[in-house]
Every structure is written in structure tokens, then in C-alpha cells.
């Protein structure tokens, strides 16, 4: 293992790491999904709830992931292998609970879910905590499969915008075009292929000359395009209606469901709960500051999500459209909005390019999780792992791509859908919602829950903090009251007993607050706890 560590690639410095991690976090989630869930959940109040989730749960969990990765210098599976005890009572208890839940479901003749849970329970018994890492690798694989389909549509739209073909007088016309485009396997699969290829090429090149290099080029471009779009949008006549909708909180529109959506989205948007940040942390040098890096990544991700809202809502309102169009907001409504703006084709091109760049830097982090696992745990060469799994993800994604004519349609997989309905007995959900639901509401929150529990109770906040302290020049130990009072450098304020420090606050969040919040959210999602 020491050899492996000696030859392990590293980021060239903190900035490269921060841009790569921010690149992973900033993606379709920020620019495509965030605005439409804000639109569906009533605007400003939802934004506030989301910010709270980011601060209270997202940031603390992100530090855990970075610490786990940097401490072990391994992929997610390797990280848990290195730190998990041989037998863990907590893991056995979870295994038992899952087995019982499975048996219970079988009793009620839910065969599909019952069998799935029994299998999972047995796996938990056998592999314990290592399974959390494995779940991350599986999540990386499945998320990238559908993510790259949507990213492929974006790529196609960049092309079409450049060719001046995205000019629609009505949302109906835009929809007809979108359905025709996604229904055409040459376009849908072709664009998906090109996107996966781009991810493979970058991951193939490795950490410094692949992921870091491209993140350093693409992230500033992304920021510039975003600024240009915001200025354009805010200077349209009538733009202020959109700003008002976006920034005025109306708490009557918030219910338990929207809080849970905000929590799930916080995980998705920050790339948490599946080991992407463990993997990126594993290439980081001990001398870099984890606390401040986390603040930068969380800050950049949140900034870009908020900016996306400012670019989209004013334009949508100014042209007289509604903000609650759901997943179709950017593919159907925006092209129509651009049609009414001078030089619309140019703005459409910029917008879809922005979306493509965001998706690309996230796509590479998903592929990197799978690649790192095969390199670290199975001894594969990076080149081989990137190509083989890029290929496999392409095939799975191609199935998704031809199965839908649009995000909310199962038309071509009617039979498969019917079988799934029978086995799992769920209500009719759209194809996209199903995959999105699986990752945002299940895999990532559960991953986040177990990562918090593991850091808080198994590895221990003390050991994690030892790791975080490397390179953070005791930032975490600053007395919180002194910090708030602006006296953090005053020696007398930091002398004496440090009880209320950033580090102790983090420990409490990780041990209690985030596990309980995620558990409540999760129990609500699966219907075992009914919140109003």
C-alpha cells in the first residue's frame, strides 16, 4: 500500500482541488434542476430552506468526505475498508433492521422490494461499512448513466443553437421539437456518446493533466457566461417580476415535502453521499486546509445555483411565462424565451454551452469514482478502467436514451415499466423522475447518513478532526463566540477552555443533527413517517 500511496497522483494545490470539487458540485443540479424546483415550490421561501440545509447538513458532511478521502488516500471502498472495524454492532443492527423490513414486506406480498431488502440485509451482514463505499461506486455508475443522457440533450442543443435551429414561437413548438429530437436515436444516443467520450478522455488523462486542468479552464468560462446571461436577463423589460418571485419568501408554500426536496437536492447539488468528495479528497495533500476548501466549494456551488435563478426567472417572467414548468423549464420554456430576445440564438447558444460545461465537470467526477475504485482496489490501469467503465456507462445510458421520448415519458419501455410496476408496485412515475428519485431521495441521503454516522461514531470525530487539523492551522479550534465577535486573532479570547468551537459544532452536527434530519427525511420518503 505504501508504494501505491507514493505513486498516487495529487492535485497541484488547493486551488486546483477547489475548482475540481466545485466543478463536480456545480452541474445540471444547479442550473437545470434548482431553478425548476424553486419554481415548483413557490420561490424565495424554498431558497431559504435550501440554504439552511446546505449550511447545517451539506457543509459538515462534505468535510467528513474530504477527511475520509485524504486520511486514507483511497477510493470510497478502500477508505471504508481501511477504517472500518472488523465487526461493528451498528452495522449488524442496520443489517438486522433491513432483513426484518424485507421479511415484513414479503409478508405483505411486496415480492420485489422484499427480496431486494433481504439481499441487501445479507450484504450488510457480510460487508458491514464497506458497503457504504460500494454503494457510492454503484451510484456513480447509475447516476452518470442518466446524467449523461440529459447532458447529451444539452450538447445537441448547443449544436442546434449554433446552427440557428432553436427558434420557437411557442412552447408547443419547442416541445414538438424536443420530443422529435429526443425520439431520434441518432441524435439522442449520438450526443450521449459524445458526452461520455469527453468524460472518458478527461478522466483517462488523470488527476492533474485531466480533471484539474480542464476544471481550471472550464470553471472561469462558466462564471463569465453566467454573468453575461444574468446581465441580459435583468435588463429585459419586466424582469423585476421574476426577481420578486425568486427572492420574496412566501412560507405558506412550504410544507414537509418541500423541505425534503431541499434536503435531497442539497446532497445532489454538493455531490455528497456517494464518495465523489471522498475520491477527490484522496488526491489532496496533507498541507491543504480542509475547512476553508469546504467553505469555498459550498460557497461556489450555492453562488452558481442562486445565479442560475437570477439568469432564468427574470427572463421567464419578462416574456410572460410561468416558472413552474418542471424539468422542461430549460429545454422548452427557455428556447421560446430566447426567441423573443434580440440575438436570441446567440444567448441560447451561450446558455446551453453553460449547461454543458457544468454537466461535464460533474460527469468526470462521477466517472472518477468508478475509475478510482478499479485502480485502487482492483489494481487496474487508469486508462483501462476509464475506457471500460465509460463504455459500460454509455451502454446503460443508451438504453435510457432510447427508452424516453421526453423526460416524462416511458413510451418505448412500456413493457419494462409495466413489469417494474408489478414487482415494485410503485405509482406511475416518469422515467426521469424514477432515476432522479432513486439517486436524490434514496442513494445519496442514505450515503450521507452513513457517512455522518461512520465519521461521528465509528471512525470518531476525534480522529476525523486530527485529519482536518492538518493544514487548517487550527481554524476549527477558533472559539465560535470570538469568531462571531471578530476577535478570533485576539490571544486572550482563544486562551482557556475551548468548548464552543467550530470543530465542536461540526462534531455535534455530524453525530446528531445530520443523521436525525436525514433519517426523518428518509422515513418520510418511504412513507413510514407521515409529516404534513
Q: How far is the CB of 143 from ligand PHE (least distance, A)?
A: 6
- Helix 344-378, helix 14-25: angle, nearest 10: 110
Q: How far is the CB of 84 from ligand PHE (least distance, A)?
A: 22
**Which is nearer to ligand PHE, 76 or 121 (by Cβ)?**
76
**Which is nearer to ligand PHE, 133 or 507 (by Cβ)?**
133
State the residues that interact with ligand PHE by CB under 6 A.
24-25, 27-30, 143, 268-269, 271, 274, 276, 362, 365-366
Q: How far is the CB of 260 from ligand PHE (least distance, A)?
A: 17
Query: How many residues are present in the chain?
Result: 532
Q: How far is the CB of 237 from ligand PHE (least distance, A)?
A: 32
- Strand (E) or helix (H) holding 395: helix 382-403
- Nearest CA to 39 out of 296, 278, 333, 274 is that of 333
- Count the Cβ atoms, other than its own, within 10 Å of residue 419: 12
How many angstroms separate the CA atoms of 398 and 389, rounded? 14
Specify the 3-state DSSP secondary structure of 218.
helix
Yes or no: say if 517 and 57 are a contact pair by the CB < 8 Å rule.
yes
How many angstroms separate the CA atoms of 474 and 471, rounded? 8
Q: How far is the CB of 276 from ligand PHE (least distance, A)?
A: 4
SS3 content of the chain, % helix, strand, coil (to 5): 80, 0, 20
Q: How far is CA 249 from the centre of its chain?
A: 25
**Which is nearer to ligand PHE, 147 or 347 (by Cβ)?**
147
**Which is nearer to ligand PHE, 230 or 366 (by Cβ)?**
366
Yes or no: say if 53 and 266 are a contact pair by the CB < 8 Å rule.
yes
**Which is nearer to ligand PHE, 101 or 329 (by Cβ)?**
329
Residues pairing with 479 in the sheet: 501
How many angstroms separate the CA atoms of 229 and 180, rounded? 27
Specify the 3-state DSSP secondary structure of 501.
strand
Q: How far is the CB of 51 from ligand PHE (least distance, A)?
A: 16
How many angstroms separate the CA atoms of 383 and 203, rounded? 8
Yes or no: say if 361 and 368 are a contact pair by the CB < 8 Å rule.
no
Q: How far is the CB of 268 from ligand PHE (least distance, A)?
A: 5
- Nearest CA to 276 out of 479, 497, 451 is that of 451
Residues 6 or more apart from 441 whose CB is under 8 A from it?
260, 264, 522, 525
**Which is nearer to ligand PHE, 297 or 385 (by Cβ)?**
297
**Which is nearer to ligand PHE, 121 or 275 (by Cβ)?**
275
Q: How far is the CB of 304 from ligand PHE (least distance, A)?
A: 9
**Which is nearer to ligand PHE, 161 or 276 (by Cβ)?**
276
**Which is nearer to ligand PHE, 98 or 144 (by Cβ)?**
144
Q: How far is the CB of 271 from ligand PHE (least distance, A)?
A: 4
How many angstroms separate the CA atoms of 26 and 159, rounded? 22
**Which is nearer to ligand PHE, 91 or 277 (by Cβ)?**
277
DSSP 252: G
Q: How far is the CB of 445 from ligand PHE (least distance, A)?
A: 12
Amino acid at each position: 500500500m505504501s508504494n501505491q500511496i507514493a505513486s498516487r497522483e495529487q492535485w497541484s494545490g488547493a486551488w486546483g482541488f477547489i475548482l475540481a470539487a466545485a466543478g463536480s458540485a456545480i452541474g445540471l443540479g444547479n442550473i437545470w434542476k434548482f431553478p425548476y424546483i424553486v419554481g415548483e415550490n413557490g420561490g424565495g421561501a424554498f431558497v431559504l430552506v435550501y440554504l439552511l440545509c446546505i449550511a447545517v447538513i451539506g457543509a459538515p458532511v462534505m468535510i467528513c468526505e474530504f477527511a475520509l478521502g485524504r486520511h486514507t488516500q483511497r477510493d470510497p471502498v478502500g477508505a471504508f475498508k481501511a477504517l472500518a472495524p472488523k465487526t461493528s454492532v451498528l452495522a449488524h443492527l442496520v443489517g438486522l433492521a433491513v432483513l426484518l423490513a424485507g421479511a415484513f414486506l414479503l409478508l405483505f406480498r411486496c415480492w420485489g422490494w422484499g427480496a431486494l431488502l433481504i439481499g441487501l440485509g445479507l450484504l450488510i451482514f457480510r460487508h458491514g461499512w464497506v458497503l457504504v463505499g460500494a454503494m457510492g461506486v454503484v451510484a456513480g455508475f447509475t447516476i452518470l448513466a442518466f446524467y449523461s443522457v440529459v447532458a447529451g440533450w444539452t450538447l445537441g442543443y448547443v449544436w442546434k443553437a449554433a446552427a440557428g435551429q432553436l427558434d420557437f414561437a411557442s412552447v408547443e413548438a419547442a416541445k414538438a421539437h424536443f420530443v422529435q429530437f429526443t425520439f431520434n436515436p441518432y441524435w439522442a444516443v449520438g450526443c450521449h456518446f459524445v458526452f461520455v467520450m469527453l468524460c472518458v478522455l478527461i478522466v483517462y488523462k488523470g488527476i492533474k493533466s485531466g480533471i484539474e486542468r480542464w476544471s481550471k479552464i472550464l470553471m472561469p468560462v462558466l462564471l463569465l457566461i453566467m454573468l453575461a446571461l444574468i446581465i441580459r436577463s435583468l435588463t429585459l423589460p419586466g424582469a423585476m417580476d421574476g426577481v420578486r418571485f425568486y427572492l420574496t419568501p412566501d412560507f405558506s408554500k412550504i410544507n414537509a415535502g418541500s423541505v425534503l426536496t431541499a434536503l435531497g437536492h442539497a446532497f445532489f447539488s454538493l455531490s455528497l453521499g456517494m464518495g465523489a468528495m471522498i475520491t477527490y479528497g484522496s488526491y489532496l495533500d496533507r498541507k491543504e486546509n480542509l475547512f476553508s476548501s469546504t467553505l469555498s466549494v459550498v460557497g461556489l456551488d450555492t453562488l452558481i445555483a442562486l445565479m442560475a435563478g437570477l439568469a432564468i426567472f427574470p427572463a421567464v417572467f419578462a416574456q410572460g411565462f410561468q416558472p413552474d414548468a418542471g424539468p422542461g423549464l430549460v429545454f422548452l420554456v427557455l428556447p421560446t424565451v430566447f426567441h423573443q430576445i434580440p440575438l436570441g440564438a446567440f444567448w441560447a447558444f451561450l446558455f446551453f454551452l453553460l449547461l454543458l460545461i457544468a454537466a461535464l465537470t460533474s460527469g468526470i467526477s462521477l466517472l472518477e469514482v468508478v475509475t478510482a475504485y478499479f485502480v485502487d482496489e482492483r489494481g487496474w490501469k487508469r486508462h483501462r478502467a476509464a475506457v471500460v467503465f465509460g463504455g459500460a456507462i454509455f451502454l446503460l445510458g443508451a438504453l435510457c436514451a432510447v427508452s424516453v421520448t421526453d423526460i416524462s415519458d416511458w413510451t418505448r419501455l412500456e413493457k419494462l415499466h409495466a413489469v417494474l410496476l408489478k414487482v415494485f408496485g410503485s405509482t406511475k412515475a416518469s422515467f426521469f423522475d424514477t432515476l432522479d428519485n432513486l439517486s436524490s431521495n434514496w442513494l445519496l441521503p442514505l450515503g450521507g447518513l452513513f457517512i455522518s454516522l461512520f465519521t461521528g461514531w465509528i471512525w470518531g470525530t476525534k480522529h476525523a478532526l486530527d485529519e482536518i487539523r492538518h493544514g487548517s492551522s487550527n481554524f476549527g479550534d477558533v472559539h465560535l463566540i470570538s469568531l462571531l465577535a471578530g476577535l478570533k486573532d485576539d490571544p486572550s479570547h482563544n486562551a482557556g477552555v475551548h468548548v464552543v468551537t467550530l470543530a465542536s459544532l461540526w462534531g455535534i452536527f455530524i453525530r446528531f443533527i445530520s443523521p436525525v434530519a436525514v433519517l426523518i427525511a428518509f422515513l418520510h420518503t418511504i412513507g413510514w413517517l407521515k409529516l404534513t
